[in-house]
Chain A
Amino acid sequence: MTTPQTLLAKLWAAHEIMQREDGTSLLWVDRHFVHEGSHHAFAKLDSRSKKVAAPELTFGVVDHYAPTRAGDVAPDIRRMIDTLGRNAKAHGVRLFDLRDPGQGIVHVIGPEQGLTLPGLLINCGDSHTSTHGAFGALAFGVGATEVAHILATQTIWQKRPKTMRITFEGVLGVGVSAKDMALHWIAQLGADGARGHAIEYAGSAVEALSMEGRLTLCNLSIEGGARLGLVAPDQVTFEYLKGRNFAPKGAAWDQAVEDWTKLKTDSAAIFDQEVAFDAADVAPTVTWGTSPEDALPITGHVPDPDQLGGAKQGQARAALEYMGLSAGMRLQDVAVDEVFIGSCTNGRIEDLRLAAKVLAGRKAKVPGLVSPGSAAIKKQAEAEGLAQIFTDAGLEWADSGCSMCVGMNGDRVDAGKRCASSTNRNFKGRQGRGARTHLMSPAMVAAAAVSGHLADVRPLLEGRS
């Protein structure tokens, strides 16, 4: 009888070319995504006069610096985009550039194009590569030196991470989404709670999520310190992928589904850690501090640093000072200056639908930007009338890109301004120098927009099916 295996163990074995005596494995990389930030890696390749080893498995996309609004593009941003174009051309890499109908955020278009598939090993020089694990792919972010190594060899040296299973059983409440599940577990376990681990998300509440929801959940794995996130592929996964551009067709599709069906943790397999949550306990959640672990239900209050112990006390005090909040105030009394909906975390069609459901027939009290996760999502949202709802509410409807999540393209939050944001990081200076970020679901961002302050989305959904 064979030893019961976790999904991680199966994926690892399928990609392991060899293992060194020190336990480091050489892994085969099935898909490698590059973006403007990959210029350091291409420079390293050029300095060694090397070519991309497998250009047919390498895909480039303009996202981090993609302009989302009409107007002049700053020369350094233009240079970043042009450099990627030049590198892609020189190495024969398919590039989704700004005018390509397939353009969008790398972690949105991978699945959308059917480039992301169950059972693949996927790397990208971006920490949110964990997103693709939603398909049951072994997907993790790497740095520039490793990007250069993958370009040169189509392989990567890695030690197998430990395993952690996070289970959500039960049914999520109305107005509660995958974003809330993620902030909920990260608040419980900490921003380094899953450090060194591969997370497998399981349980009835995870199985009930759409692909969009699973992508959000896996995307945020890195914010809890995990190396990667996984959801075992199922019928929802297969239905999402069938017919997509680069997804297998015909006989290859049938064999794929047969292979993918085996990609699940055996029932008696042992995880290094097991954590379980009740889906009914997850509330619409917002962050109050400068780490994703600083998250609480919207019905809560800003914590009092004096009531926290040890190092946590100083950390909370510094966070409140940066965020301009006072201890004990109701989270729902925190006034916001602007809102942002988009990013690889929550810029998908379902996210836009949920936000639009709250915004329909209402006016935003603060300005805001909506940047769809891809050009295709933009088109779809316009066809579905969602774009009209955003603009009728007074929000700006922009092109797709990483935009205000990371501020590289010039979409920034000004110093001292407070933004309700559907993004992934409330780090100091992330959305712009001195910017104050509150993370939440797109529906909660919409609630903040129409309220002018952090707000519970649930009452705003009453009577809206």
Chain B
Amino acid sequence: MPEAADPASVTAREAQAFARVTLARHPDRPRALRLIELLFSDWTELHGDRLFADDRAVVGGPARLGNRWVMVIGQEKGTDARTRVIHNFGMPHPEGYRKAKRLMLLAQKFGLPLICLVDTPAAHAGVEAEERGQAWAIADSMLTMFGLKVPTISVIVSEGGSGGALALAVADSVLALENAIYTVAPPETCAAILYRDANQKARAALSLRPEVATARALGVVDELVPEPSPGAHAHPLVVAAALKGALVRHLCDLEAQPRDLLLEARWERYEDPAPGSIPPGSPSA
């Protein structure tokens, strides 16, 4: 047990931990559509899940990375009041995950590697989402992605929250921008579950260690893409260039492997997906 915690310093550490969450949610961070524009060429968006609707929280379609065609799927939060509503703040409904699944299978059919840009606080929580099987849609997206016979890369762009993020992140390589967060649930939800009080989000953030450096230490994320201070919101072009370099590098590595070895490596990875640990007393921030 550490020495009796000084309430003032605990509050300060909680505030510091939550500041990371706030930074990851900075409204000017590049969103999926912006990154797609910066990273790829010939992006052609495809719409709809062929079952119910077109969920604009998930965007996807083929694009070229350098001169290599890939399938891109991204979670888009929107950039202003109008587009945030259109994209539902990046919180997909089941049809978003079903669109993703459709595009994954399309990629597999024609041998396109898959690149997913993850940016969601969580899957949408609502009556309609439950009626249309949110749990089933997420479960199916994960199962499809895990079994995909093409190389897969996911990038935690800003906010990777809950199964809503993991549905697009069961990949061969998982990258993250340095100031992103990756959590089991948004700190507000964690606080509601642990303390029955969403206002204790800072306390939850301190204990949960949402920063992607934690994910890297646990072995969940393979590489952090550096962001010049103060962050990607101030330097979107620099960050996009660094991310593009990392994507090309990982894609080359994955494509060089025979498919059976690729799938075997994927199995081994997800047999124990988070083998690392964070030692006690290590600072969260």
Co-assembled chains A and B: no
